[in-house]
Amino acid sequence: MRRRMLLTTLLSVTMLLGGCKTTVINPGTDSSATYRLGRLTATEDQPITKVYEASTTAVTKLGLSIIQRVKDELQAKIIARDAQDKKIIIELTSLTESTTEVKIRTGSSDKARRIYQTIHDTLP
């Protein structure tokens, strides 16, 4: 019983602290994105309005169905669904007037990376 409890605790700590972490670096630019625990996080040197417009354009360009869009000057959220009816959530947070944090929650790192790359390429 004690061994099982120790193993469970060790596994829990490993998952919480270690997790799956992959850093994606876009060649030729200073931007980078980190994928961890089902969420890709990146920072763009653009105001939230431009990143929001690029995000909606990218979602449409990729053929995803937009379910919900909300935006103000500090935060924005886009909820979409793919062809398999999987939910995709893009959250934007204005860190400064010219910097925006992008968070993309999907089921896979490849899908999140593709969405982020399309958003990044759509930005001016």
Residues 99-116: tens digit of each pLDDT: 999 999 998 889 999 999
Residue 104 pLDDT: 97
Are the CB atoms for 61 and 118 separated by under 8 Å? Answer: yes
CATH number listed for the domain at residues 20-122? 3.30.310
Single pTM value for the model? 0.78
Residue ranges per domain, the chain? 20-122
d(CA 109, CA 124): 25
In the chain, beta strands by DSSP E? 21-25, 32-36, 39-44, 65-71, 75-81, 87-96, 99-105
Are the CB atoms for 103 and 39 separated by under 8 Å? Answer: yes
Phi, psi angle pair for 48, to nearest 5°: -60, -35
Burial of 102 (0-12, 13-18, 19+ CB in 10 A): buried
Structure tokens at 8: 């469970």
Residue 37 pLDDT: 83
> Which is higher by pLDDT, 19 or 58?
58
Per-residue pLDDT at 97 exceeds 50: yes
Per-residue pLDDT at 87 exceeds 90: yes
pLDDT tens-place string over residues 2-56: 666 666 776 665 555 555 556 555 545 556 788 888 899 999 999 999 999 999 9
Residue 27 pLDDT: 46
Q: Calculate the alpha carbon distances from 6 to 15, 19, 29, 110 in Å.
A: 14, 19, 45, 34
